[in-house]
Amino acid sequence: MATSDQTAMGTSDKTPATEIGHTPEKAPWPLWEVFVRSSRGLSHVHAGSLHAPDADMAVRNARDLYTRRNEGVSLWVVPASSIVASDPDAKGEFFESPKGKDYRHATYYKKSEGVKHL
């Protein structure tokens, strides 16, 4: 089992998701993560996941499941097992470096009176 939310767990004792294209007829269909571009000029955003036997069916199912109300102009489906995530146990330390580096933000700097367009 590997939802993108979960790929980071790595150590699931449950049945792993079937590899794409190697789906025996009775085995569970692999899991796909769905990304929807809501309109031109915007990025694809994660919408959710679904099961499908192959990429084509995943795209069709994603259309039916995540764009029933004109939510999108483009879809991506990605095998959940292909997603690599940061280590969830690293939480703090992995993302710590920007801390104490307020000078990376514009708000760190004092505004000088009368100076425009800065």
Partner 1 sequence: MATQTQSPRDTQLQPVPSAEDEAGQAYFDKIIAEDSRIEPADWMPAGYRKTLTRQISQHAHSEIIGMQPEANFITRAPSLKRKAILMAKVQDEAGHGLYLYSAAETLGTPRDELFDQLLSGKAKYSSIFNYPALTWADMGAIGWLVDGAAIVNQVPLCRASYGPYGRAMVRVCKEESFHQRQGFEILLELASGTPAQKQMAQDAVNRFYAPALMMFGPNDDESPNSQQSMRWNIKRFSNDELRQRFVGMIQEQVKVLGLTLPDDKIRFNEETGKWEYGELDWNEFYEVLKGRGPCNAQRMERRREAHENGAWVREAAAAYAAKKAQKAQVA
Which positions lie near partner 1, rule CB under 8 A?
Answer: 1, 3, 5-6, 8-9, 12, 14-15, 20-29, 31, 48-54, 57, 64-65, 68-69, 85, 88, 91
Report in angstroms how near the CB of residue 23 gets to partner 1 at its nearest: 5
Q: Which is nearer to partner 1, 38 or 65 (CB)?
A: 65
Cα–Cα distance for residue pair 76/37, rounded to 1 Å: 8
Q: Which is nearer to partner 1, 91 or 95 (CB)?
A: 91
For 6, other C-beta atoms within 10 Å of its C-beta total 17
Cβ within 8 Å of residue 85, ≥6 positions away: 4, 7, 8
Please, how many CA atoms are within 13 Å of residue 30, restricted to the half-sphere of its CB? 23
Q: Which is nearer to partner 1, 73 or 85 (CB)?
A: 85
